[in-house]
Amino acid sequence: MSARVGYVGLGIMGGGMAANLLRAGFDVVVHNRTADRAEPLAAAGAEVADSPRGVAERCDVIFTCVSDTPDVEDVVFGTDGIAEGARAGSLIVDTSTVSPEATRGWAARLAEQGVGFLDAPVSGGSEGAAKGTLSIMVGGDPSNVERALPYLEAMGSTITHVGPVGAGQTCKLVNQILVVTSMLGVAEALVFAKAGGLDLEKTIAAVEGGAAGSWMLANRGPQVIRDDWRPGFTIDLQQKDLRLVLEAADELGVPTIATSTIFHLYRTLQRAGLGSEGNHALVKALERLAGIEARQDA
C-alpha cells in the first residue's frame, strides 16, 4: 500500500500537487467535489474515487487541499468523508491553510480512531504547486512526518518540520504576516515614489538589489506599475488567511497591528468588487487615499 496515495481537493494547488505525485511514480487515487476537475488527473493516470471516503478506503495516506476550515471539516468528518473510510493506522495530511486550533481538534478526534494527522500548509503559489517547488511547513509527530516525507518531497523543495500538530498552520500564518506587510511596504513606497516624480521602473531597479529588496518588490512591484492585476493569490483568499491570523492572535493575546490594518485595507477593495484581483492590488487602497496611481508613464 505504501506507494499508493490519495488526494482530495484538486483546485489550483491540489491539482498541481497530485500531478507531481503521479509524476514521481506513485499510484494516486483522487477525488474532487466538482467531478470534472479530476479529469486531467484521470487522463494522466490517476484513479478517481467518487467520495473522500472512497479515497480513504483505497489508500492509507490521504492528502487534502481545500479552501477553508469548514471545508476540511466537510471532507474529513462529513458524510462520506475521509474519517468514514480511514482505518486505524491511516494518515491524513492536510495541505490547506486553515485554523491551527481547529487542526489540533481534528488531530485529537482522529487519534481516537487510531488515525494520524499532519498539518502541512504550503507556500509558493500555483507555480510552486505545478513545478513541485513548494515550501511545506509541517506540524505533527516525527514518525508521521517521516512516513509522509517521500510524498512531500515529490511536491515541495523546502520541507520543514516546525513542531507538533498545529505548528505548521501557525508557521503558515507567520508566512502570511510577512507577505502582506511586505506588500504594504511596496505599495506605500511606490505611491510615494510616484508622488515624488520618480520613474517607477528606475526606482525599482535602483533599490531592489540592496537592503530594501524583497520577493514582493521584485515580482509584484513590476505588476503594479504595469497595471497587471492577475492573481498569483487572490485578495479573497488572502483575506481568509488574514482572518485566520487575527483569530489566532486573539487566542494568543498578541497585538497584530499591521496585519489588522491591512485586513481592513483589503476589505475596502473587496467592497469595491476587487476580491478576485491579486493581493498586490493592495496598492489600490493606498492610491485611493492618496489620489495618486503608481503606474509607469507610457
User: Which residues lie near ligand NAP (CB under 6 A)?
Assistant: 9-14, 32-34, 37, 65-67, 71, 74-75, 96-97, 122-123, 125-126, 232-233, 237
- Residue 13 makes CB contacts below 8 A (sequence gap 6+) with 65, 95, 122, 126, 129
Nearer to ligand NAP (CB atom), residue 55 or residue 269: 55
For residue 162, give the H/E element and its range: strand 156-163
- Shortest distance (Å) from residue 261 CB to ligand NAP: 21
Nearer to ligand NAP (CB atom), residue 13 or residue 225: 13
- Shortest distance (Å) from residue 137 CB to ligand NAP: 11
Alpha carbon distance 261, 267 (integer Å): 10
What is the torsion angle, in degrees rounded to the nearest 10, for the CA atoms of residue 182, residue 183, residue 187 and residue 193? 40
- Shortest distance (Å) from residue 256 CB to ligand NAP: 18
* CA end-to-end distance (rounded Å), the chain: 59
The residue of the chain with the least Cβ separation from ligand NAP equals: 11
Nearer to ligand NAP (CB atom), residue 143 or residue 160: 160
Is 172 an active-site residue?
yes
Supply 252's cell numbers: 494568543
Q: Are 189 and 155 in contact (CB under 8 A)?
A: no
- Shortest distance (Å) from residue 63 CB to ligand NAP: 12
- Shortest distance (Å) from residue 134 CB to ligand NAP: 8
Alpha carbon distance 152, 160 (integer Å): 10
Alpha carbon distance 211, 90 (integer Å): 47
Provide the pairing of β-strand 122-123 with 134-139. Answer: antiparallel
Nearer to ligand NAP (CB atom), residue 164 or residue 232: 232
Alpha carbon distance 130, 158 (integer Å): 15
Q: Burial level of 141, CB count in 10 A (0-12/13-18/19+)?
A: middle
Among candidate residues 172, 194, 240, 284, the one labeled active-site is 172
Nearer to ligand NAP (CB atom), residue 113 or residue 276: 276
Catalytically active residues are 172
